[in-house]
Structure 1
Amino acid sequence: MVTCVEHLEWQVVNKIDHTREVINLISQKTDRVILFYSGGKDSIMLLNQVAPKFKEVVLVFMYLVPNLRHVDIYLKDALNRYPNVKLIQKPHWILTYIRKSGNYCIADPKVKLKKLKDVDDEVREETGIEYSIFGMKKADSLNRRLMLQGYNMEAINEKTNRVYPLSLWTNKEVLRFIRDNNLPKPIAYNKKASSGVMLEKDCFEYLQKNYPDDLEKIYDAFPMSRVILFGK
């Protein structure tokens, strides 16, 4: 009789095989790739699998506010841990929506809205790299599931050269892989699946407790965001 643990182990083994197969396919086409890196669980696991397979991996970190100490810890660790890794930092595309709408700042209607694709295109033009790797998974949301379902092996968009090696994984499986392989514990502002600095209460409470200097940098960039913790 197969136990739940054994079944989970079987699933993870098959999913890591799938992930490695996807990465190997790309490594046969190029020795340089872009990897969108947030310091979250998916990007930490992906970097561990991608770095050994390519001559150069260009990490793209998208910031809401630059030079936050608790984020720099992860960026420096990635650069030190993998000698073939380089780093490019870009303003997060979501900043264009924040600035245009005036969310916790003065609205600027002249701001041109961007998408993730626009940041990816910019980095590709700057580096000359053809393939970009992302940590998106079908389990993340219904939209992600629908998006990935139509791709080759549910992982490779052959029209855009965008690659999703973790498409079949769940959050719990990724976290288990990180734990079992002694990788850095990912940034986590709350118990939810999402990661990354956001103008939200959970993130602000975490920073207030652990990195108050980073919270002040966010206040400097978005003065009106002080109301998020108003009354605390």
Structure 2
Amino acid sequence: MPVVLAVEAPDRLVAESLLSAIQRQARLTDSVICFYSGGKDSAVTLDLCARHFQAVHVVFMYQVPGLSFQEEILAWAESRYGVEIYRIPHFELSDFYRVGVYCKPDPSLPKVVVSDIYAHVRQAFDCHWIAAGERAKDSIVRNAMIKRSGSIDQKRGRFYPLAYWSKEAVLRYIAAHRLRVSPESKVLGHSFRSLAGKDIAAIKRHYPQDYDKIAQAFPEIGAALAREAMYGEDEVPKRHG
């Protein structure tokens, strides 16, 4: 299936250069682990991986299992690409529960970091290379990271198919290939990734049953709503990955 970037003829060389990263990566291996969140960048990353690798193992990290809007996009991706998505707890949950983010703290829990997750999925799938949707233009930190490694990080076993893509290129690709993003993006502006009051308030309004699931996992989440109502902001960190 050809890759379409929906560009005019003068921009074709630019479009082809955007695909050079995934093409180089596919020459190193025929299998890859793809981390998928349901957001825009991960949607394009998964689609590129499905087109360029023979075997794609898809991993989704959740903060609360079984949220309807997340399961909706996961089911769509499983159907479109003929895969079974491996759902695992997000590594940041260990910190949340250890220090007591909207729940009773339990410092006896083991600390889990992202490298633990990478080691686990590599062993589970017997696959070394991991792809995700990091872009150099996301932040100063990611720009520095990709500037050091390029689109292929040999030391960490990481691929960055979108390393040099702009947000506009991502949106054009999504439109050209009729990709979907997680439905909560319409109300949050992004895929669900945070326990910040603004996001939780929107989830409660639009997905009340999912809010109840979040409240079961984080019994004190009402404090986030109260803080949002009073101050309009929340300092709870966003989920990464």
Shorter-chain TM-score tier = 0.7 to 0.9
Q: Does 1:161 align with 2:157?
A: yes
- Deviation at 1:137? 0.9
2:106 is matched with which residue: 105, 108, 120? 108
- Identity percentage of aligned residues: 31
Aligned partners of 1:184 and 1:82: how far apart in 2?
Answer: 13
Alignment CA distance shift 1:11-1:71 (3 Å): farther
Q: Give distance in 1, aligned partners of 2:47 and 2:54.
A: 14
Quick one: distance in 2 between partners of 1:69 and 1:39?
13
Q: CA deviation at 1:111?
A: 2.3
Cα 1:10/1:68, change in 2 over 3 Å: farther
- Tell me: CA distance 1:196–1:116, structure 2 relative to 1, closer, same or farther (3 Å): farther
Partner of 2:96: 98
Partner in structure 2 of residue 126 of structure 1: 124
- Let me know the Cα RMSD of the aligned residues: 2.2
**Matching residue of 1:17:** 16
1:51 Cα deviation from its structure 2 partner: 0.4
Match of 1:226 in 2: 222
Summarize deviations over 1:99-150 as a string: whole Å, max 9, x none: 1111101111122222222211110011100110010111111111111111
TM-score norm. by structure 2 comes to 0.83
8 Å Cα contact 2:130-2:157 kept in structure 1: yes
Aligned residue for 1:174?
A: 170
Aligned counterpart, 1:47: 46
Given the alignment of the two structures, is residue 216 of structure 1 paired with residue 216 of structure 2, yes or no? no
Q: Kindly provide the CA deviation profile for residues 10-63 of structure 1, in whole angstroms up to 9, marking residues without a partner as x.
A: 897556434432222232232221000000001111111110222221111000
* 1:33–1:11 CA distance, 2 compared to 1 (3 A): farther
* Correspondence for 1:200: 196
Distance in 2 between the 1:9 and 1:158 partners?
A: 34
Partner of 2:86: 88
Unaligned runs of 5+ in 2: 1-6, 230-241
Counterpart residue identity of residue 113, structure 1: K
Query: CA 1:216/1:16 → structure 2, altered by over 3 Å: closer, same or farther?
Result: farther
Shift of 1:9: 6.2
* Aligned counterparts of 1:11 and 1:160: Cα–Cα separation in 2: 36
CA distance in 1, matches of 2:76, 2:130: 21
1:203 shift after superposition: 1.8
Partner Cα distance (2:195, 2:10) in 1: 36
**Does the 8 Å contact 2:60/2:88 carry over to 1?**
yes
TM-score scaled to structure 1, two decimals? 0.86
Conserved 8 A contact 1:15-1:169:
no
**Runs of 4+ that moved beyond 3 A:** 8-16
Change (3 A) 1:208 1:13: farther
SS in 1 for 2:48: helix
Relative to 1, partners in 2 of residues 1:19 and 1:110: Cα closer, same or farther, differing over 3 Å? farther
Whether the 8 Å CA contact 2:26–2:52 is kept in 1: the answer is yes
